[in-house]
Amino acid sequence: MLTYNYFLVTGAAGQIAYSLLYSIAKGDVFGKDQPLVLLLLDITPMLPVLEGVVMELQDCALPLLREVIPTDKVDVAFKDLDAAILVGSMPRREGMERKDLLKANVAIFKSQGEALDKYAKKTVKVLVVGNPANTNCLIAAKSAPSIPKENFSCLTRLDHNRACFQVALRCGISANSVKNMIIWGNHSSTQYPDIHHCKVNVQGKDVTAFDAVKDDAWLKGEFISTVQQRGAAVIKARKLSSAMSAAKAICDHMRDIWTGTTEGEFFSMGVYSTGNPYGVPEDLIYSFPVSIKDKTWKIVDGLAINDFSRAKMDATAAELVEERDTAVSFLGV
């Protein structure tokens, strides 16, 4: 007999969740034979909106979805969880200093980490989406000492997917013909999209991204800045942040955790940096290339790093160290 799995989405009345919940509920993430219960957490003023989301999920008549539980209470939302997707966070408002944004989010993710520690299964897989995602993830992990830090990750798959499509577009091929892209570092404008280990399938043959694109200046310049600034470009065009693409990336990320990666392929995830083979400072959530087996990620080792890449990897690490130190100073407040 199949057991139900319990999956939480926070910020569940928001636009990312609205794009995400249908895919989870119909089995795109955790499998086509896995019955599930969805727990939807949001702040009290959003509960009426959440009721509408629940009605829509019910009206989809999805065979795997056994129950939808909307709530504003952490003891309900975090109980016995198999997976938690932490989408809700404090957005940066006009005139808000970065340290004020960090302080507000430390309070949110400290309380959610404590709730995970108290109520969730110790095997729970936690994906942090709400920005600043890397540092929010670190605070949540630090606030849940009984759950292994390896169970926490943050979303850089959206940046990874953006980078893959830019290369595919340039080569006139499909995005799934681009493999082993890497996003190093922070989910911010300092992130480093690295194509030095990327393989592109052109007419049935795998070649390097440099050989496929045949424009080194673009790959080392405009390509990187396009990926780094893509989120801001979407906001400028849509007047709203990325939702559809973020939801797709969340599904990709969680599905890879659940089902594993193909031999010889890797993807980008923000994971705990302690013990990493690339000289990245300890005690950060930093995006690395990872492979996954049995729901356990492993940083891909042995990739050559040239001086160009090292400088960019160090720059994004420096930003994360500063973010971490600022955020940790608020933990005792």
Residues in the annotated binding site for NAD(+): 42, 105, 129-131
Give yes or no: 253 in active site.
Answer: no
Query: Known binding site for substrate: residues?
Result: 92, 98, 131, 162
DSSP notation for 179-223: E--EEEB-SSTT-EEE-TT-EEEETTEEEEHHHHH--HHHHHTHH
d(C-alpha 146, C-alpha 144), whole Å: 6
CA nearest to 36, candidates 23, 49, 50: 23
Q: How open is the CA angle 18-21-27, to the nearest 5 degrees?
A: 155
Query: Known binding site: residues?
Result: 42, 92, 98, 105, 129-131, 162
Q: What residues pair up with 70 in beta bridges, in sequence order?
A: 40
CA nearest to 22, candidates 59, 71, 74: 59
Spatial contact of 209 and 141, defined as CB atoms under 8 Å apart: no
Catalytic position from the list 187, 196, 197, 253:
187
CB atoms within 10 A of CB 205: 10
- Give the CA distances from residue 207 to residues 71, 179, 234, in Å, rounded to whole numbers and listed in that order: 50, 10, 31
CB atoms within 10 A of CB 99: 13
Q: In what order do the strands lie in the sheet with 65-71?
A: 65-71, 36-41, 5-10, 83-86, 125-128, 152-154, 267-272, 285-293, 296-299
DSSP notation for 236-252: HHHSS---HHHHHHHHH
CA nearest to 88, candidates 71, 110, 105: 105
Q: Kindly report the backbone phi and psi dihedral angles of residue 55, in degrees, each rounded to the nearest multiple of 5, phi listed first.
A: -60, -40
Catalytic amino acids? Answer: 187
